[in-house]
A = this chain, B = another copy of it.
Amino acid sequence: MSEIYRALADPTRRRILQLLREREMTAGEIASNFDLAKPTLSGHFAVLREAKLVSQEKSGTTITYRLNVSVLEEALMALMDGFRLGESREKKP
């Protein structure tokens, strides 16, 4: 569960997730959106994969990344739940 916090902590990775919200993209396609070397992005993909926030599909030499919306959704819900937002601070109302 903690890998998700790690994944969300980096701005580049958050941006990647936002890009994938629009549509699935290949590794190179994603990389073209950044001013970073391919190996750097590849490392970010690995972190997102470990957090299960994205899944990959190989087709020939290209790898297409897809956002795992439900995992992201549940992670943010769990985060809100952890802070019990929306509930009262009182123990005995």
How many copies altogether?
2
Q: A85 within 8 Å of B by Cβ?
A: yes
Size band of the interface chain A makes with B: 20 to 34
- A83 in contact with B18 (CB, 8 Å): yes
The one of B2, B11, B17, B85 that contacts A83, using a Cβ cutoff of 8 Å: B17
Q: A21 within 8 Å of B by Cβ?
A: yes
Closest chain B residue, CB of each to CB of A22? B89
Main secondary structure of the interface of A (DSSP, over half): helix
Interchain nearest-CB distance for A2 vs B (Å): 7
The one of B5, B11, B17 that contacts A8, using a Cβ cutoff of 8 Å: B5
Instruction: For the A-B complex with A5-B11, A5-B14, A69-B85 known, give 8 more contacts whose Cβ atoms are closer than 8 Å.
Output: A2-B11, A5-B9, A9-B9, A21-B83, A23-B89, A73-B85, A76-B76, A76-B80
